[in-house]
Amino acid sequence: MKVAFLVAPEGVEQIELTDPWRAVEEAGGTPTLLSTGGGRIQAFNHLDKADTFPVDRQVGDVSVEDFDGLVLPGGVANPDALRTDEEAVAFVREFFQAGKPVASICHGPWTLIEADVVRGRMLTSWPSLRTDIRNAGGNWVDEQVVVCTAGPNALITSRKPDDLKAFEEALLREFSAVSA
């Protein structure tokens, strides 16, 4: 199971990156940290700087065919930066076109909205994205984790760090089904 974790150079919520990353590794998968820039990314614990992590590859240098699934961690600044990067948005859209599963937590669905892939889909997020998701044609619900298969791929979404255990279980189930 090869899993891409797509983040901006700064602003990812650290636990929303590190916990799913660990879950993928413990399941025998291979996580890859992708970003729109090289070097290291700066993670945050809410609004405070946390650790930095080395970027494995830049998003413009990889293909959707290289991966079985995609994870979009949250943090407010992270998806806000990703949705303004054409290569990042195109990469997300290509996962849907290829029918491969995508998992997104917290503010991560902002990038999904920009990629125009939430229309007709049920998903959850941090509550402040509710109106954005509805305006983009999605059906927002307030649930711990939502797995929507009403489309070309499985879309796994969760609201916040407190939902990480359920989020990880769902994404591993869906990603494993594709890589099997």
Catalytic residue numbers? 106-107
Enter the DSSP assignment of 13: E
Question: How many angstroms separate the first and last alpha carbons of the chain?
Answer: 8
Q: 43 and 14 in contact (C-beta within 8 Å)?
A: yes
Residue 107 to residue 124: CA distance in whole angstroms = 10
Residue 128 to residue 106: CA distance in whole angstroms = 9
Neighbours of 89 (CB within 10 A): 20
Give the residues across from 58 on adjacent strands. 35
Q: 35 and 41 in contact (C-beta within 8 Å)?
A: yes
